[in-house]
Chain A
Amino acid sequence: MDFTFTDDQLTFREAVSRFLMTEAAPEMLREIWDTDIGRSPELRKNLAEQGLTALSVPEDCGGLGMDDIAWALMTQELGYYAIPDSLADTAYVAAGLIAALPAATASRDDWLGRVAEGSIRIAVGHPVNPLLADANLADLLLLAHGDEVHAVPRVQVTVEANPSIDLSRRLAAVSWKPATATLIADGAAGRALWAQTLNRGALSTAGQLLGLAQRMLDLSVDYVAQRKQFGKPIGSFQAVKHHLADVATKIEFAKPVLYRAAYALARGEAGADARVSHAKLACGEAAWLAARHGIQVHGAMGYTWEVDLQMFMKRAWALDAAWGDRGYHKSRVADAILVEGAALGPGHTFEE
């Protein structure tokens, strides 16, 4: 029993954090927000050079073969820097779905190889999300038709942009026609792939929300330590301190929930759905509280376009309902704990 990360995992996270600190600074976010496509090919290229697109791709397809547990750390960094790129959709969620296809599936290895080298962008259209992120820019779209999974080239779909308050999220409604040529899985196999994909999408979003919560807390701590009123930093006042202490506490108790969910997913545990939903709820709540208390302690500055906090708040508000809103995830938790014979109480946290 060891519920911690290895030194290697923590070192890798550190390296990613240092890289994103320079490559995804808030000024750059603002620049990319102002562009039409909302993406930077250069940033994507740099992410690929760091190996971040290759994380989930199996080693025999040119990747690093890392699992959901590694992504529990990675996605926090992606959230912390609010990178204006849907990296995790391609490199984690889509890569996971494609890697789970039978080895004989045409194009499987080719797609995975291209994910690893960073030369393909894949949008994932799970039915739980009414709109697709990055559909406009994607080279390939993974789309659902009932239980069927289709891999559809961008040219075969019609895309209608739906702007989000988070300018880093480029959402679109997609119209398309299912065809035999694009079908890559159906029936029970398709159903299982979509179920797994939803969990990965939710875990990815949960990790990003937790990273966002930490970033908003850090920004708020910096702000209240330098902003003075009544002749003192406002961070010396208890009313302000307690707002931020509550955020710190929420974050502290969301982290292990995220890690437990990642492990459940990596090991294919039967209870993974409830664990992932728990993580999504806990991380979403932490992020929303960090936003609420963050804007409060920033005062009027928090309501401006000028102060960076807004970019992180908007991402947090948006991601909270992505890959299943709270009602969806709360229902999954309720299903697990209210069912007859549910294993609850002490001693059931790890073993099923």
Chain B
Amino acid sequence: MDLAYTPRQKAFREEVRAWLAANLPREPLASYDTREGFEQHREWERKLFDARLSMVIWPEALGGRGCDLIEWLIFEEEYYGAGAPMRVNQNGQLLLGPTLIEFGTEEQKARFLPRMASSEDMWAQGWSEPNAGSDMAAITSKAILSEDGSHYVVNGQKTWSTRASFADWLFGLFRSDPASSRHHGLSYLAVPLDTPGVTIRPIQALNGKQAFAEIFFDDVKVPLENRIGDEGQGWHVAMATAGFERGLLLRSPARFQYTARKLVELYKAHRAVADRDPSIRDAVIEAWTGTEAYALSAYHTVGRLAKGARIGAEASTNKIYWSELDLKMHETAMRILGPLGELTVDAPAAVEAARWLDGFLFAQAGPIYAGTNEIQRNIIAERMLGLPK
């Protein structure tokens, strides 16, 4: 155990810090759940990419920087510590990206990853269907290989696809063997969203914005070279993606530590009012202890990975931990803000408060997306503790 950063790691931190100080947008970007904000975030991603900071852990040849996971954690700390924008292309970069690195052909990696790193291609995901949510193996959308084997013909419907209204591509699971059931006979495809036969219908989320969409496929032709992994191996490939999602990459500790810092500041600024409810102070303390524990767990896991360990079902403990922590912190902020909490960005009386409201609304989704926390608890009980199905 040696908890000092190396000179190289310190230098990297300094470099990232300096770059962010010089390049951060002066005004906050518009919400990436709007077309305008989405494009602003795309521009920001391009800037990050040009500085080779968009995907620091990817190999240089694929648009990354070849950093190790400790350096990635450092990057995240600097990035979120500086209050930098949310990552608009995270579905691609953090979910599909690692899957392609593990399962993609060399041709697919070269074709998809650099454009993903630069956000020239924005990706949406296609997992859930109207009747396949927590029970993802109930997928019925079909992808049937053409007789000449050159392409799949996709029919069906996907839903809850985050920011799909604005995205360029979709990756997801389709049933390629119509006689199959459950997790057999599925294939993992990448579909350009401008292909004829694709219809995207936005779904208005509870924040009033088009945060996600449903997607209809009507005889959509998808070239064979867009299949990731082998025919019928989609479930296996998707599970790897789900593991990444629940695991570290999608929700690095830094963004929650940033929220905790902001919460402590909010509490201090409103202490006279907040202390009338003694449980608020407790919740503020737990924001710090909780986010520190999450960060420490990340460093411990990264250290074990570097020594050859693999992340198994404990990834599910991560998902529960960060989503409930994030929700608790935002609930605490709302309680501190009291009657200001309900005010939106358009309310002159609540410029700062409104950002907490946005976060509070989004935090409601945390225990639901990426596999509900109930499903995660089942996974922990069955795969970590070995309890019977």
**Residues of A in contact with B (beta carbons under 8 Å apart):** 1-6, 69, 217, 221, 224-225, 232-233, 235-236, 238, 240-242, 244-246, 248-249, 252-257, 259-260, 263, 278, 281-282, 330, 333-334, 337-338, 342, 344-347, 349-351
The answer to the question of B6 belonging to the interface, with a C-beta cut-off of 8 Å to chain A, is yes
Q: Tell me the complex Cα distance, A345–B6, Å.
A: 21
Q: Is the CB of A221 within 8 A of B1?
A: no
Q: How far is the CB of A170 from chain B (nearest CB, A)?
A: 32
The CA-CA distance from A282 to B290 in the complex, in Å, is 9
Contact with A along B284-302 (1 / 0, CB 8 A): 1100110011111101101
Task: Report which of A221, A242, A337 forms a contact with B386, defined as CB distance below 8 A.
Answer: A221
Closest Cβ neighbor of A350 among chain B residues = B3
- 4 A-B pairs with least C-beta separation: A345-B261, A241-B381, A256-B296, A346-B77
Min CB–CB distance B288 → chain A (angstroms)? 5
B92 at interface, CB cutoff 8 A: no
Which of A246, A254, A337, A350 is close to B377, meaning CB atoms less than 8 Å apart? Answer: A246
Report yes or no: B374 in contact with A238, Cβ–Cβ below 8 A: yes
B96-125 vs A, Cβ < 8 Å mask (1 yes, 0 no): 000000000000000000000000000000
**B313-321, B346-354, B363-371 - the one binding chain A:** B313-321
Whether B214 sits at the interface, judged by CB under 8 Å, is: no
Given A249-B317, A263-B1, is A345 in contact with B81 using a C-beta cutoff of 8 Å?
yes
The reply to whether the CB of B146 lies closer than 8 angstroms to some CB of chain A is no
| A345 nearest CB neighbor, chain B only | B261
**Contact A225 B2, beta carbon cutoff 8 Å:** no
Q: Which of B156-164, B182-190, B219-227, B251-259 binds A?
A: B251-259
State the majority secondary structure of interface residues on B. helix
Q: Is the CB of A249 within 8 A of B261?
A: no
Q: Which residues does chain B contribute within 8 Å of A235, judged by CB atoms?
A: 381, 387-388
- Do B70 and A1 touch (CB < 8 A)? yes
Asked if B264 and A344 sit within 8 Å, CB to CB, the answer is yes
B272: Cβ under 8 A from any A Cβ: no
Q: Could you tell me if B389 and A259 are in contact, using CB atoms closer than 8 angstroms?
A: no
Q: A1-B299, A248-B380, A257-B293 are in contact. Are A346 and B254 (CB under 8 A)?
A: yes
Complex Cα distance, B282 from A281, in Å, reads 12
CB neighbours of B267 from chain A (8 A): 338
Contact A253 B387 (CB under 8 A): no
- A4 contacts B381, CB within 8 Å? no
Option from B297, B300, B306, B387 in Cβ contact (under 8 Å) with A241: B387
Q: Which of A217, A263, A282, A337 has the most CB of B within 10 A?
A: A337
Q: Measured between C-beta atoms, what is the minimum distance from A309 to chain B in Å?
A: 16
Report Cα–Cα, A265/B74, bound state, in Å. 24
> Are A337 and B296 neighbours in the complex by a CB distance under 8 Å?
no
Q: Are A245's CB and B289's CB within 8 A? A: no
| In the complex with contacts A252-B317, A282-B293, A236-B389 CB distance below 8 A | yes
Q: Is the CB of B292 within 8 A of A349?
A: yes
Would you mind naming 20 contact pairs between A and B with Cβ atoms under 8 Å apart? A1-B6, A69-B1, A236-B387, A236-B389, A238-B374, A241-B378, A248-B317, A248-B385, A249-B320, A256-B300, A257-B289, A263-B1, A282-B293, A333-B289, A337-B264, A337-B285, A338-B268, A342-B264, A347-B13, A349-B253
Q: Contact check: which of A254, A330, A346, A351 meets B80 at CB < 8 Å? A: A346
Q: Residue-by-residue, is B74-95 near A (CB-CB < 8 Å gives 1, otherwise 0)? A: 1011101100000000000000
Cβ-closest chain A residue relative to B252: A346
Supposing A333-B288, A350-B5 touch, asked if A244 and B381 sit within 8 A by C-beta, the answer is yes
A244-B385, A337-B264 known; A349 vs B380 contact (CB < 8 Å): no
**Complex formed: what's the CA distance from A235 to B320 in Å?**
20
| CB neighbors of A among B3-52 (8 A) | 3-6, 9, 13
Q: Give Cα distance in the complex from A349 to B302, angstroms.
A: 15
How far does the Cβ of B271 sit from chain A's closest Cβ, in whole Å? 9
Known: A2-B1, A225-B386, A245-B380. A334 touches B281 (CB 8 A): yes
